[in-house]
Amino acid sequence: MKRFNDLLTKFHEERQTMEKIPSILQRSSNLLKFCNEILSEMKNVVEDIDFETVGEEIYFFKEVKPIPMSYFIYYTHIQNCELHRPKAGKQYKIRFLEKEMRKVNKFFFKNTDFTYYMEQGYSYLDHTFFTRRGVEKFPMNPTENQYFYPEFSSSHDLLWAKIKAMYRYIHYLREQLQKLNGGPLEFTQDSSHRVIVWTGSKTALVELVYALYVDGSLNHGKLDLKTIASSFEAFFNIRLDNVSKTYMEIKSRKGSKTKFLDDLGMQFQLKMEREDA
C-alpha cells in the first residue's frame, strides 16, 4: 500500500498549493486535470500489482480512491456552477444557488441508508460495497465516473466519493449565499464543521417541529411555526414540503399519533435503564 500512500501524500501537497489560485475557474480546471492524473496513476498501480488481501482491496476502495475522486466530483460541480450561474441580478443568483442546494438535499435523501452506514463507521457490508466482487450485486449507473473499469471500481466507491464531494459542495454553496446576502462567512470549504443531514422521515421531523412549537421551548415560545420549520430545514439540510398537510396526516393516524416522539422517549429511557443495569 506504500505506493498508494505516496500518491495520496503527493495529492494533498499539490492540491493545497493549487487551491491558492485566486480564479475559481482556473483553480477548478487545474485541479480537475490533477485529480485525473492521480486517478490514472492509481489505476496503473492496481493493474500492475493488484491487492494481496481482501483487506487491502477494501482499504483502497473505501479510504484511498474516494479521496481524489471526491475532489474530482467536487470541482466538477463548482466548475458547472460557476459557468451556469446567472451573471446579473442578485435574486437570480440566489435562486440558482438555492436550487443547487435542493439538488444536494435530494441526493442525500436518496442515499440515506448508505450515508448512515458510512457516517456511523460500520464495516459489516464492506466486502460487498468495497470489493470488485460486489459489483455484480448492484447495477451500476456511473454518471461522473470515467474510471469505471472492472478492475478499478467497486459497487460503492463512486457513491462514497460523491457523498464526500457533496459535503464540500454544501459549504461552497452556503459561502456563496452568505456573500450575496451580506452575512458573515460562517462556512468555508475547509471548515471542520460537520454537515448534519436529517436521515429520518420528514413526517418524524414535522412531529418534532410541532411538539417544540406547542411546548414553547424555543425563544420563550415566541417563534412561529414557519420560522421553526425553516430553521430545522436549514440546520438539517432537508426540505419539508407542506408542513400543514403532513400535520393533518399525523392527526388522522390510528392509535398513537406521535409515533416518532413516543419511540424517541422510549429509546432514551431504555438507554438509561441499560446503563443502570
Question: What does the pLDDT look like over 15-42, one tens digit per residue?
Answer: 888 988 999 999 999 999 999 999 999 8
Q: Do residues 77 and 165 make contact, with C-beta atoms less than 8 angstroms apart?
A: yes
Per-residue pLDDT, 76: 94
Asked if the model's pLDDT at residue 49 lies above 70, the reply is: yes
Per-residue pLDDT, 75: 93
* Average pLDDT across the chain, whole number: 83
pLDDT digits 0-9 by tens, 94-127 = 889 989 988 998 898 888 889 888 887 888 999 9
Per-residue pLDDT, 234: 74
Per-residue pLDDT, 192: 42
Mapping DSSP onto H, E and C, the string for 160-210 reads HHHHHHHHHHHHHHHHHHHHHHCCCCCCCCCCCCCCCCCCCCHHHHHHHHH
Asked if the model's pLDDT at residue 184 lies above 60, the reply is: no
From residue 4, alpha-carbon distances to 50, 57, 64, 249 in Å are 11, 12, 7, 53
Asked if the model's pLDDT at residue 55 lies above 50, the reply is: yes
Q: Mean per-residue pLDDT for 164-171? A: 90
136 confidence band (pLDDT: 50, 70, 90):
low
Asked if the model's pLDDT at residue 143 lies above 60, the reply is: no
187 confidence band (pLDDT: 50, 70, 90):
very low
Of 199 and 211, the structure prediction assigns the larger pLDDT to 211
